[in-house]
Structure formats: structure tokens, C-alpha cells
Amino acid sequence: MKTNKLVVATFAALVSISSYAQTVDEIVDKHVAAMGGLDKIKGVNTLVIERTLSVQNMEIPNKTTVMVGKALRTESSVMGNSMVQVVDGTTGWMIRPAMMGGTGDPEDMPAEMVKQQVGQLDPFGALVNYKEKGHKVELIGKEKVEKADAYHLKVTTKDGQTMDEFIDANTYMLTKLKTNVQGQDGEITFSDYKEVDGIKFANTMEMTSQMGALTFVTNKVTVNGKVDESIFKKPAK
């Protein structure tokens, strides 16, 4: 009798584990489909996103240019001063005005900063094709995000970085991301999704960290537009 109970318990545990794994993949698959589908996402080679950043009562124009998987350039204008961050492959450079602790000239980006920026070369997130990328995803459970049910997924990237992603249980879109950048915990909420060329992008992103609150509002998204690759090369001083 005890043997039968043990068999039943073992079988139940195996079924539970199997269902758990299927649940993770089901959530991820529905998330990718809600974004526009894997074929659409794989067809994106370049992205140019123009946003307005609101911080401390200032409106700062921000432009991000991405060659998916290859290079990234983010540029802003702060009180007439240009701020640029570029990651090209596994190296990076930046321009910081004096008010940001820089000289206004191009300088190499610290390795740790490059490591944090590299993830943005994958603009659609770690969940898309996570197995092929070598990432691991764990379902923590269901939680409330802005009073709506969301699936809490813990993502561990192949290089050991972790993040918590919250997928809306109704729309299957990403609503919140929690991560740690350079030793500081940060949180980003995503809302007001709009479709561009069959792919959905968050129109509003609100970031909170130890440095304060930032709000990004998207003004324009260009998919697969022509990009001059020279903008990623570090200029001479």
C-alpha cells in the first residue's frame, strides 16, 4: 500500500513539474504572439525610436538607433549639451558634457557599463527565443501589477544576469521589469502599447531607481529604416 502511495506521489510530482514547464512556455509563446509574432520580430534589422524624457521638470529629446544584435546609439540633448552612448559589438564609447562629469570629447565606455548596455542590442527582450539564447526562465507565480493580474517570470541570462519580468495575464504584454544595474535596483513599467508595422511598442515607460523617477514617451518608431553605420564609430578627438 505504501508503495502504491509512493508511486502516485512521484507521478503527481512529475506531472506538476511537466505542467510547470509547459506553463512557462505557454506564457512566453503568447507574449511573443501578442507582440506581433516571431516572424515579424525576426524580420526587424534596424530600429530608430524617438522619445521625450521627462525628469526633474525638464523635457529632454532622446533618440535610440539599433542595428539588432550588432550596434546601439543613444543620444540626448541636455540644456544645449550633447550626450551620446554607443555600443558596437562588445566595445563602447560615450560623450559626456562637463555637467555630467565628462569633457565633451569621445571617451571609452567602462567595461561594466558596456556589459549593461549590450542587452539593448536585443530590443524585443530576453524572453523571445530564450532557449536559443541560452537563457533560463522560471515562473514565480501570479501577482498584481497596477491592479491587474500578471505572471511573474524570473529570467537568468546565459551570462548570469537576472531580471524579473511581469507579463499581463490578459494582454500578455510586458507591464513591468525589475533588474539591477551597476549594483542599483531599478524598475520600469510599460504601458500604452501602439502598433508599428505589425509590432507593438510601449508608448510610455516609467523608470524608478535610486537616482529618481524618469518618464519616456515615444514620439516615433521607424522599423527597418536605412541606418548609416558610421554613427557607431568612435570619432577622433
146-186 pLDDT, tens digit per residue, is 889 999 999 999 888 899 999 999 999 999 999 876 667 88
- Read off the pLDDT of residues 186-211 as tens digits, 9 standing for 90 and up: 899 999 999 999 999 999 999 886 66
Domain that holds residue 143: 2-232
In a domain, 237, yes or no: no
In a domain, 56, yes or no: yes
- What's the total number of domains in the chain? 1
pTM of the model: 0.83
DSSP calls for 113-168 = HHHHHHGGGSTT-TTTTHHHHT-EEEEEEEEEETTEEEEEEEEE-TTS-EEEEEEE
Q: Are 86 and 234 in contact (CB under 8 A)?
A: yes
Closest CA relative to residue 127, chosen from 25, 23, 28, 43: 28
Question: C-alpha cell of 26?
Answer: 505557454
**CATH assignment of the domain containing 194:** 2.50.20.10
In a domain, 183, yes or no: yes
Distance between CA atoms of residues 136 and 149, nearest Å? 23
Mean pLDDT confidence for 9-37: 72
In a domain, 45, yes or no: yes
pLDDT at 72 over 80: yes
In a domain, 77, yes or no: yes
In a domain, 162, yes or no: yes
In a domain, 156, yes or no: yes
In a domain, 149, yes or no: yes
